[in-house]
Amino acid sequence: MCTWIVERTPVDGSAKGPNGWFELNQANVYYDHPYHAPLDHALIIDFVETPDQVGNRVAVELSEAAARRLVASILAALESGEEGHPTRVEVSAATA
Amino acid sequence: MTYRSIMAEEITYRGHEAEQIQAYLARPLGDGPFGSVIVIHHMPGWDAGIMEITRKFAHFGYNAIAPNLYTRFGTGDADEVAAVARAAGGTPDATFVGDMAGAADYLRMMPAANGKVGVIGFCSGGRHAVLAASHLPDLDAAVDCWGGRVIAAPDQLDERHPVAPFDLTPQLNVPLLGIFGNDDRSPTPEQVDQHEAELKKHGKTYEFHRYDGAGHGFFSVNRPAYRPEQATEAWGEVFTWFGRYLSA
Protein backbone atom coordinates (compact mmCIF):
# COMPACT_ATOMS: atom_id res chain seq x y z
CA MET A 1 0.00 0.00 0.00
CA CYS A 2 1.03 3.59 -0.55
CA THR A 3 3.28 2.38 -3.31
CA TRP A 4 3.49 2.88 -7.02
CA ILE A 5 3.38 -0.87 -7.59
CA VAL A 6 0.92 -1.57 -10.36
CA GLU A 7 0.58 -4.80 -12.26
CA ARG A 8 0.01 -3.77 -15.86
CA THR A 9 -1.44 -6.48 -18.05
CA PRO A 10 -2.22 -6.23 -21.77
CA VAL A 11 -5.75 -7.49 -22.34
CA ASP A 12 -7.86 -8.18 -25.42
CA GLY A 13 -11.58 -7.69 -25.29
CA SER A 14 -14.23 -5.07 -24.66
CA ALA A 15 -15.66 -3.27 -21.68
CA LYS A 16 -18.78 -1.19 -21.28
CA GLY A 17 -18.55 2.19 -19.60
CA PRO A 18 -20.81 5.24 -19.37
CA ASN A 19 -20.19 5.98 -23.06
CA GLY A 20 -20.91 2.46 -24.26
CA TRP A 21 -18.63 -0.34 -25.33
CA PHE A 22 -14.97 0.31 -25.92
CA GLU A 23 -11.90 -1.67 -26.87
CA LEU A 24 -9.86 -2.90 -23.92
CA ASN A 25 -6.11 -2.70 -24.14
CA GLN A 26 -4.77 -2.89 -20.62
CA ALA A 27 -5.74 -3.85 -17.08
CA ASN A 28 -3.97 -2.06 -14.22
CA VAL A 29 -4.16 -4.07 -11.01
CA TYR A 30 -3.07 -2.84 -7.58
CA TYR A 31 -3.81 -3.20 -3.88
CA ASP A 32 -4.10 0.15 -2.17
CA HIS A 33 -6.51 2.72 -0.80
CA PRO A 34 -9.70 2.78 -2.85
CA TYR A 35 -11.26 5.96 -4.12
CA HIS A 36 -14.85 5.01 -3.43
CA ALA A 37 -15.33 1.67 -1.64
CA PRO A 38 -15.64 2.07 2.16
CA LEU A 39 -12.56 -0.08 2.75
CA ASP A 40 -9.13 0.75 4.10
CA HIS A 41 -7.50 -1.14 1.25
CA ALA A 42 -8.89 -2.72 -1.85
CA LEU A 43 -7.85 -4.79 -4.81
CA ILE A 44 -8.40 -2.33 -7.62
CA ILE A 45 -8.61 -3.12 -11.31
CA ASP A 46 -8.74 -0.40 -13.93
CA PHE A 47 -9.74 -1.76 -17.32
CA VAL A 48 -8.61 0.92 -19.74
CA GLU A 49 -8.58 1.69 -23.42
CA THR A 50 -5.70 4.19 -23.42
CA PRO A 51 -3.25 3.51 -20.56
CA ASP A 52 -1.46 6.87 -20.68
CA GLN A 53 -4.35 9.33 -20.74
CA VAL A 54 -7.74 9.98 -19.26
CA GLY A 55 -10.27 8.08 -21.33
CA ASN A 56 -12.55 5.09 -21.26
CA ARG A 57 -12.12 3.15 -18.03
CA VAL A 58 -14.08 0.60 -16.08
CA ALA A 59 -12.92 0.45 -12.47
CA VAL A 60 -13.63 -2.01 -9.70
CA GLU A 61 -12.57 -1.78 -6.06
CA LEU A 62 -12.89 -5.13 -4.27
CA SER A 63 -12.27 -6.36 -0.76
CA GLU A 64 -9.39 -8.79 -0.53
CA ALA A 65 -11.79 -11.70 0.07
CA ALA A 66 -13.95 -10.70 -2.87
CA ALA A 67 -10.91 -10.43 -5.11
CA ARG A 68 -9.78 -13.92 -4.17
CA ARG A 69 -13.28 -15.29 -4.81
CA LEU A 70 -13.28 -13.56 -8.17
CA VAL A 71 -9.94 -15.09 -9.11
CA ALA A 72 -11.29 -18.54 -8.21
CA SER A 73 -14.47 -17.87 -10.18
CA ILE A 74 -12.56 -16.76 -13.25
CA LEU A 75 -10.39 -19.87 -13.14
CA ALA A 76 -13.41 -22.11 -12.58
CA ALA A 77 -15.29 -20.50 -15.45
CA LEU A 78 -12.31 -20.89 -17.73
CA GLU A 79 -11.96 -24.51 -16.77
CA SER A 80 -15.62 -25.36 -17.35
CA GLY A 81 -15.53 -23.39 -20.58
CA GLU A 82 -12.60 -25.41 -21.80
CA GLU A 83 -14.46 -28.59 -20.98
CA GLY A 84 -17.59 -27.43 -22.80
CA HIS A 85 -15.91 -25.99 -25.87
CA PRO A 86 -13.06 -27.36 -27.95
CA THR A 87 -9.92 -25.32 -27.52
CA ARG A 88 -8.01 -23.91 -30.43
CA VAL A 89 -5.28 -26.50 -29.99
CA GLU A 90 -7.75 -29.38 -30.04
CA VAL A 91 -9.52 -28.03 -33.13
CA SER A 92 -6.17 -27.69 -34.85
CA ALA A 93 -5.21 -31.23 -33.89
CA ALA A 94 -8.56 -32.60 -35.08
CA THR A 95 -8.25 -30.79 -38.40
CA ALA A 96 -4.76 -32.19 -38.91
CA MET B 1 -9.33 31.37 16.92
CA THR B 2 -11.88 29.90 14.55
CA TYR B 3 -13.55 31.38 11.50
CA ARG B 4 -17.10 30.49 10.56
CA SER B 5 -16.75 32.49 7.39
CA ILE B 6 -14.25 31.07 4.96
CA MET B 7 -13.75 31.21 1.19
CA ALA B 8 -12.88 28.11 -0.80
CA GLU B 9 -12.18 28.07 -4.51
CA GLU B 10 -10.21 26.42 -7.30
CA ILE B 11 -7.17 28.34 -8.47
CA THR B 12 -4.00 27.79 -10.45
CA TYR B 13 -0.46 28.78 -9.50
CA ARG B 14 3.01 28.53 -11.01
CA GLY B 15 4.61 25.23 -10.07
CA HIS B 16 7.67 23.33 -11.23
CA GLU B 17 9.16 24.91 -14.37
CA ALA B 18 6.43 27.58 -14.24
CA GLU B 19 3.71 25.12 -15.23
CA GLN B 20 0.20 26.03 -14.12
CA ILE B 21 -0.88 23.78 -11.27
CA GLN B 22 -4.49 23.23 -10.32
CA ALA B 23 -5.14 23.76 -6.61
CA TYR B 24 -7.89 24.10 -4.04
CA LEU B 25 -7.53 27.17 -1.84
CA ALA B 26 -9.41 27.81 1.39
CA ARG B 27 -8.89 30.89 3.53
CA PRO B 28 -10.49 32.52 6.53
CA LEU B 29 -12.42 35.70 5.85
CA GLY B 30 -10.62 38.07 8.17
CA ASP B 31 -7.79 40.55 8.31
CA GLY B 32 -5.16 38.11 9.49
CA PRO B 33 -2.27 37.92 9.42
CA PHE B 34 -2.62 34.19 8.88
CA GLY B 35 -0.10 31.39 8.76
CA SER B 36 -0.36 29.09 5.75
CA VAL B 37 -0.50 25.37 5.18
CA ILE B 38 0.10 23.25 2.09
CA VAL B 39 -2.10 20.14 2.25
CA ILE B 40 -0.78 17.16 0.30
CA HIS B 41 -3.23 14.56 -0.91
CA HIS B 42 -2.84 10.80 -0.69
CA MET B 43 -2.30 8.44 -3.59
CA PRO B 44 -5.97 8.15 -4.66
CA GLY B 45 -5.76 11.78 -5.64
CA TRP B 46 -7.20 15.24 -5.23
CA ASP B 47 -10.44 14.07 -3.68
CA ALA B 48 -13.26 15.48 -1.57
CA GLY B 49 -11.53 14.35 1.64
CA ILE B 50 -8.43 16.46 1.03
CA MET B 51 -10.59 19.48 0.24
CA GLU B 52 -12.47 18.96 3.50
CA ILE B 53 -9.18 18.99 5.40
CA THR B 54 -8.12 22.11 3.54
CA ARG B 55 -11.30 23.86 4.66
CA LYS B 56 -10.64 22.66 8.20
CA PHE B 57 -7.39 24.59 8.24
CA ALA B 58 -9.18 27.70 7.02
CA HIS B 59 -11.75 27.26 9.79
CA PHE B 60 -8.90 27.28 12.32
CA GLY B 61 -7.32 30.42 10.89
CA TYR B 62 -4.89 29.31 8.17
CA ASN B 63 -4.68 30.04 4.49
CA ALA B 64 -4.56 26.53 3.09
CA ILE B 65 -3.82 25.21 -0.37
CA ALA B 66 -4.17 21.67 -1.69
CA PRO B 67 -2.29 21.34 -4.98
CA ASN B 68 -3.45 18.71 -7.42
CA LEU B 69 -0.26 16.68 -7.72
CA TYR B 70 -1.75 14.96 -10.75
CA THR B 71 -2.41 18.16 -12.71
CA ARG B 72 -0.11 17.02 -15.51
CA PHE B 73 -1.89 13.71 -16.01
CA GLY B 74 -5.05 15.16 -17.49
CA THR B 75 -8.32 16.79 -16.66
CA GLY B 76 -11.58 15.31 -15.53
CA ASP B 77 -12.86 13.52 -12.48
CA ALA B 78 -10.20 13.15 -9.80
CA ASP B 79 -10.45 9.37 -9.75
CA GLU B 80 -9.99 9.14 -13.53
CA VAL B 81 -6.89 11.34 -13.41
CA ALA B 82 -5.52 9.44 -10.42
CA ALA B 83 -5.87 6.16 -12.32
CA VAL B 84 -3.74 7.55 -15.14
CA ALA B 85 -1.19 8.98 -12.69
CA ARG B 86 -0.89 5.68 -10.90
CA ALA B 87 -0.45 3.69 -14.10
CA ALA B 88 2.27 6.12 -15.17
CA GLY B 89 4.19 5.74 -11.92
CA GLY B 90 3.17 9.01 -10.28
CA THR B 91 4.65 12.49 -10.18
CA PRO B 92 8.45 12.53 -10.12
CA ASP B 93 9.85 13.74 -6.81
CA ALA B 94 11.75 16.61 -8.44
CA THR B 95 8.56 17.88 -10.06
CA PHE B 96 6.73 17.56 -6.75
CA VAL B 97 9.34 19.64 -4.94
CA GLY B 98 9.05 22.36 -7.59
CA ASP B 99 5.29 22.36 -7.21
CA MET B 100 5.65 22.74 -3.43
CA ALA B 101 8.04 25.67 -3.81
CA GLY B 102 5.48 27.34 -6.08
CA ALA B 103 2.66 26.70 -3.62
CA ALA B 104 4.69 28.19 -0.77
CA ASP B 105 5.47 31.28 -2.86
CA TYR B 106 1.79 31.67 -3.69
CA LEU B 107 0.81 31.48 -0.02
CA ARG B 108 3.47 33.96 1.09
CA MET B 109 2.18 36.49 -1.45
CA MET B 110 -1.41 36.34 -0.24
CA PRO B 111 -2.52 39.68 1.21
CA ALA B 112 -3.36 38.45 4.70
CA ALA B 113 -0.38 36.08 5.01
CA ASN B 114 2.15 36.32 7.83
CA GLY B 115 4.86 34.74 5.68
CA LYS B 116 5.01 31.43 7.57
CA VAL B 117 4.25 28.26 5.59
CA GLY B 118 3.85 24.70 6.82
CA VAL B 119 3.19 21.48 4.99
CA ILE B 120 1.12 18.44 5.95
CA GLY B 121 0.58 15.21 4.07
CA PHE B 122 -1.27 11.99 4.54
CA CYS B 123 -0.25 8.48 3.56
CA SER B 124 1.96 8.87 0.44
CA GLY B 125 1.54 12.59 1.13
CA GLY B 126 3.26 12.04 4.48
CA ARG B 127 6.32 10.89 2.59
CA HIS B 128 5.88 13.93 0.36
CA ALA B 129 5.76 16.24 3.39
CA VAL B 130 9.11 14.93 4.63
CA LEU B 131 10.51 15.24 1.12
CA ALA B 132 9.34 18.86 0.80
CA ALA B 133 10.75 19.72 4.23
CA SER B 134 14.08 18.18 3.26
CA HIS B 135 14.40 20.17 0.05
CA LEU B 136 12.77 23.48 0.97
CA PRO B 137 14.50 24.90 4.05
CA ASP B 138 12.40 28.07 3.99
CA LEU B 139 9.33 26.11 5.05
CA ASP B 140 8.51 26.69 8.72
CA ALA B 141 6.94 23.40 9.84
CA ALA B 142 6.06 19.97 8.49
CA VAL B 143 3.67 17.22 9.52
CA ASP B 144 4.02 13.63 8.33
CA CYS B 145 0.85 11.63 8.89
CA TRP B 146 1.78 7.95 8.55
CA GLY B 147 3.86 8.44 5.44
CA GLY B 148 4.78 5.12 3.89
CA ARG B 149 8.17 4.62 2.27
CA VAL B 150 9.94 7.42 4.10
CA ILE B 151 12.35 4.55 4.54
CA ALA B 152 12.71 2.57 1.34
CA ALA B 153 14.74 -0.41 0.22
CA PRO B 154 16.74 0.08 -2.99
CA ASP B 155 14.23 -2.00 -4.97
CA GLN B 156 11.46 0.36 -3.84
CA LEU B 157 13.15 3.32 -5.52
CA ASP B 158 12.82 4.18 -9.19
CA GLU B 159 13.57 6.92 -11.68
CA ARG B 160 10.70 9.07 -10.48
CA HIS B 161 11.37 8.44 -6.80
CA PRO B 162 15.15 8.02 -6.66
CA VAL B 163 15.87 8.85 -2.99
CA ALA B 164 14.17 7.82 0.24
CA PRO B 165 13.34 10.88 2.37
CA PHE B 166 14.98 9.09 5.31
CA ASP B 167 18.32 9.44 3.54
CA LEU B 168 17.84 13.21 3.36
CA THR B 169 17.61 13.56 7.15
CA PRO B 170 20.97 15.38 7.46
CA GLN B 171 19.63 18.20 5.25
CA LEU B 172 16.20 18.43 6.92
CA ASN B 173 15.99 21.78 8.68
CA VAL B 174 12.26 22.17 9.18
CA PRO B 175 10.58 21.18 12.47
CA LEU B 176 8.88 17.85 11.83
CA LEU B 177 5.82 16.41 13.57
CA GLY B 178 5.03 12.74 12.99
CA ILE B 179 1.65 11.10 13.59
CA PHE B 180 1.58 7.31 13.50
CA GLY B 181 -0.68 4.38 14.37
CA ASN B 182 1.02 1.51 16.15
CA ASP B 183 -0.94 -1.03 14.11
CA ASP B 184 0.26 0.43 10.81
CA ARG B 185 2.20 -1.76 8.38
CA SER B 186 3.42 1.14 6.21
CA PRO B 187 5.24 2.58 8.06
CA THR B 188 5.76 -0.12 10.63
CA PRO B 189 6.48 0.90 14.25
CA GLU B 190 10.03 -0.32 13.67
CA GLN B 191 10.43 2.04 10.72
CA VAL B 192 9.07 4.89 12.82
CA ASP B 193 11.67 4.03 15.49
CA GLN B 194 14.39 4.03 12.86
CA HIS B 195 13.29 7.40 11.50
CA GLU B 196 13.15 8.88 14.98
CA ALA B 197 16.64 7.58 15.80
CA GLU B 198 17.97 9.22 12.64
CA LEU B 199 16.34 12.55 13.49
CA LYS B 200 17.76 12.36 17.00
CA LYS B 201 21.20 11.43 15.72
CA HIS B 202 21.31 14.53 13.55
CA GLY B 203 19.92 16.83 16.24
CA LYS B 204 16.73 17.71 14.35
CA THR B 205 13.68 19.42 15.81
CA TYR B 206 10.86 16.88 15.79
CA GLU B 207 8.06 15.28 17.76
CA PHE B 208 6.65 11.84 17.01
CA HIS B 209 3.28 10.80 18.41
CA ARG B 210 2.23 7.16 18.22
CA TYR B 211 -1.23 5.85 18.94
CA ASP B 212 -2.27 2.44 20.20
CA GLY B 213 -5.37 0.92 18.66
CA ALA B 214 -4.85 2.86 15.44
CA GLY B 215 -3.45 1.80 12.11
CA HIS B 216 -2.93 3.48 8.78
CA GLY B 217 -5.10 6.44 7.83
CA PHE B 218 -6.94 6.75 11.12
CA PHE B 219 -8.13 10.32 10.34
CA SER B 220 -10.31 9.00 7.49
CA VAL B 221 -13.84 9.48 8.77
CA ASN B 222 -15.37 7.42 5.94
CA ARG B 223 -13.18 4.35 6.36
CA PRO B 224 -13.06 1.49 8.88
CA ALA B 225 -9.61 2.73 9.93
CA TYR B 226 -11.12 5.84 11.55
CA ARG B 227 -10.33 6.07 15.26
CA PRO B 228 -12.19 9.05 16.70
CA GLU B 229 -10.34 9.30 20.04
CA GLN B 230 -6.87 8.95 18.58
CA ALA B 231 -7.73 11.20 15.63
CA THR B 232 -9.07 13.95 17.88
CA GLU B 233 -5.96 13.85 20.04
CA ALA B 234 -3.64 13.78 17.04
CA TRP B 235 -5.43 16.67 15.33
CA GLY B 236 -4.78 18.59 18.56
CA GLU B 237 -1.07 17.88 18.16
CA VAL B 238 -1.17 19.08 14.56
CA PHE B 239 -2.74 22.41 15.50
CA THR B 240 -0.38 22.84 18.46
CA TRP B 241 2.57 22.27 16.13
CA PHE B 242 1.40 24.70 13.50
CA GLY B 243 0.39 27.17 16.22
CA ARG B 244 3.94 27.07 17.53
CA TYR B 245 5.73 27.45 14.22
CA LEU B 246 3.34 29.29 11.93
CA SER B 247 2.28 32.16 14.17
CA ALA B 248 3.48 35.63 13.31
Per-residue pLDDT tens over the stretch B177-191: 999 999 999 999 999
Per mean pLDDT, which range of A2-11, A38-47, A83-92, B33-42 is the poorest? A83-92
Judge contact between A70 and A51, C-beta under 8 A: no
Q: Which band of pLDDT confidence, cut at 50, 70 and 90, is reported for residue A51? A: confident
Q: What pLDDT, on a 0 to 100 scale, did the predictor assign at position A83? A: 82
What's the rounded mean pLDDT across residues B81-96? 95
> What ipTM was assigned to the predicted interfaces of this complex?
0.79
Residues of A in contact with B73 (CB under 8 A): 54
Whether the pLDDT of residue A94 is over 80: the answer is: no
Q: Which band of pLDDT confidence, cut at 50, 70 and 90, is reported for residue B197? A: very high
Share of chain B above pLDDT 70, in %: 100
Whether the pLDDT of residue A86 is over 90: the answer is: no
Residues of A in contact with B79 (CB under 8 A): 35-36, 59
Whether the pLDDT of residue A95 is over 50: the answer is: no
**Nearest chain B Cα distance for residue A18, angstroms:** 13
Judge contact between B144 and B129, C-beta under 8 A: yes
Mean confidence (pLDDT) of chain B? 97
Judge contact between B243 and A58, C-beta under 8 A: no
Per mean pLDDT, which range of A73-87, B11-25, B29-43, B81-95 is the poorest? A73-87
Residues of chain B that touch chain A, judged by Cβ-Cβ distance less than 8 Å: 42-45, 47, 73-76, 78-84, 86-90, 123-124, 127, 147-149, 156, 158, 160-161, 185-186, 215-217, 220, 222-225
- The whole-angstrom separation of Cα B86 and Cα B191 is 25
Whether the pLDDT of residue B135 is over 50: the answer is: yes
How many other CB atoms are found less than 10 A from the CB of residue A24?
Answer: 17
Q: Which band of pLDDT confidence, cut at 50, 70 and 90, is reported for residue A1? A: low
Strands (E), chain B: 6-14, 20-28, 34-40, 62-67, 113-122, 141-145, 176-181, 206-211
Q: What pLDDT, on a 0 to 100 scale, did the predictor assign at position A84? A: 79
Residues of A in contact with B225 (CB under 8 A): 40
Contacts of B222 (CB under 8 A, 6+ apart): A38, B49
- The whole-angstrom separation of Cα B174 and Cα B26 is 24
Q: What pLDDT, on a 0 to 100 scale, did the predictor assign at position A96? A: 39
- The whole-angstrom separation of Cα B57 and Cα B35 is 10
CA distances from B136 to B85, B104, B124, B170 (A): 24, 10, 18, 13
Per mean pLDDT, which range of A67-71, B21-25, B87-91, B115-119 is the poorest? B87-91
Secondary structure letter of residue B110 according to DSSP? S
How many other CB atoms are found less than 10 A from the CB of residue B25?
Answer: 22
Q: What pLDDT, on a 0 to 100 scale, did the predictor assign at position A4? A: 78
Q: How far apart are the first and last CA of chain A?
A: 51
Q: What pLDDT, on a 0 to 100 scale, did the predictor assign at position A81? A: 86
Would strands B34-40 and B113-122 be described as parallel, antiparallel, or unpaired?
Answer: parallel
- The whole-angstrom separation of Cα A80 and Cα A7 is 27
Q: Which band of pLDDT confidence, cut at 50, 70 and 90, is reported for residue B35? A: very high
Whether the pLDDT of residue A93 is over 80: the answer is: no
Whether the pLDDT of residue B1 is over 90: the answer is: no
